[in-house]
A and B are shown apart, each in its own frame.
Chain A
Amino acid sequence: MDSADSADRYVPDSVRQAVKVLIVGAFGVGKTTLVGSVSEIEPLRTEETVTGAAVGVDALAGVEDKRTTTVAMDFGRLTLNDRLVMYLFGAPGQRRYWGMWDGLAEGALGVLAVVDTRRLAESFEVLAELELRGLPFVVAVNRFPDSEDHPVAELRGALDLTGDTPVVTFDARDRASSIDALITLVQSISGGATGPAGTEGTDHPDEAARGPVAYAPRQGERLPAER
């Protein structure tokens, strides 16, 4: 609309709501590739501050200063319709960065946990931590060109997943395949009520039965400061 060359960086004016999905995984599993495949903007990089209090193994015993480190994070954007955009945030899976998951996961639809079958062991603690934190997640197994094809049941066993955690295989370099992984995540969050192949993802047994109407009163709360 504007002739300014930075104009296309902006979100369409009609957009009223943003949702986000977290992409986590061990180093090098394809988080950045996935964000790059599906983002409609050139993926952006920003820094988040990680404070010393929650850094686990990196914490220096006895050192009490307010030490902070920063970690780079890649993210991208998808316009879902003229009023709704989705952001994908790639968050590092190393233990020392778990502290930043909380802030990022707040208000997120869910988490896509990207896994590389050639290095399954590196994903164990990431998945265990996601389970521990009770974040809704789907395991997305990135098919690398030189990775063997493992049946999903086999992977589920190898990853020691609880019974209802969905596992999907995908190719992070492929846009449609990556979007399919996101679709599986959203289906799983909605407890299968919005499509096939979902698993029960709710703590409230009667939730699926209530359907969309039960949530209608909450509509007004979505946009606390809309102008």
Chain B
Amino acid sequence: MTGNGGYRDSALRPYVITGGKFRPSRAALGVETLLLRAETAGPLPVTATRESRALVRMCERLLSLAEAAAHLKLPLSLVKVLASELVDAGYLVARSGIPQAARPDMELLQEVLDGLRRLR
């Protein structure tokens, strides 16, 4: 943890950007969730924040939530809130990871193993 890794008090700004919402409206999005702009969605409402617009633009093609946050230089927790709202509102589509609280199935684990062995 070097460089910008230190402490920073950043409570206020994310609160403002998310319109006062602290938590994602639904908890299904993880840092690894893949996001993509919904083809069928119209333009964002005029009230949409600059950060929401940037996120939708960033997800023009497939990208994980964490990658989008890193490229946009926005905190993960903020992007989680914004992405949840944009998914709920139909502007973004989520391709999720493993369902929460479920054990990964053997077929998937085998696929992961095969992939890792190929990369070795």
Q: Which of A2, A47, A179, A189 lies in contact with B75, CB distance below 8 A?
A: A47
B11 near A67 (CB under 8 angstroms)?
A: yes
> For A98, what are the chain B residues with a Cβ–Cβ distance below 8 Å?
none
A69 & B9 in contact (Cβ 8 Å cutoff): yes
Query: What is the interface residue range for chain B against chain A?
Result: 35 or more
Report B-chain residues with C-beta under 8 Å of the C-beta of A59: none
Question: Are B105 and A212 in contact, CB atoms less than 8 angstroms apart?
Answer: yes
The answer to whether the Cβ of A147 comes within 8 Å of any Cβ in the partner chain is: no
As a 0/1 sequence over residues 95 to 120 of chain B, the CB contacts with chain A under 8 angstroms (1 = contact) are 11111101011111111111111111
Report the separation of the CA atoms of residues A85 and B67 in the bound assembly, to the nearest whole angstrom. Answer: 13
With both chains docked as a complex, state the minimum distance between the C-beta of A96 and any C-beta of chain B, in angstroms: 10
Give A157 Cβ to nearest chain B Cβ, in Å: 29
Name which of A103-111, A118-126, A148-156, A158-166 contacts chain B.
A103-111
A189-B3 CB under 8 A given contacts A17-B95, A80-B116, A224-B96: no
Q: Does B46 contact A (CB under 8 A)?
A: no
A187/B113 in contact, CB under 8 A = yes
- In the bound complex, residues from chain A placing their C-beta under 8 Å from that of B4 are 45, 47, 72
**Contact B5–A71 (Cβ < 8 Å):** yes
- Chain A: interface size category: 35 or more
| Chain A stretch 80-126: residues in CB contact (< 8 A) with chain B | 80-81, 84-87, 89, 92, 103-104, 106-107, 109
- Number of CB contacts from chain A to chain B under 8 A: 207
| Residue A222 lies at the interface, judged by CB distance under 8 Å to chain B | yes
Query: Would A18 and B95 count as touching, CB distance under 8 A?
Result: yes
Give the distance to chain A from B100, nearest Cβ to Cβ, in Å: 6
The yes or no answer to A128 lying at the interface (CB within 8 A) is no
Evaluate contact between A215 and B30: CB separation under 8 angstroms: no
Provide the bound-state CA to CA distance between A211 and B110, in Å.
11
A residues contacting B by CB (< 8 A) are: 2, 7, 9-13, 15-20, 27, 38, 41, 44-49, 66-73, 75, 77-81, 84-87, 89, 92, 103-104, 106-107, 109, 176, 179-180, 182-183, 186-187, 189-190, 193-195, 211-212, 215-216, 218-219, 221-227
**Can you list 6 pairs linking A and B with CB atoms under 8 Å apart?**
A18-B32, A45-B70, A69-B8, A104-B31, A107-B32, A212-B107
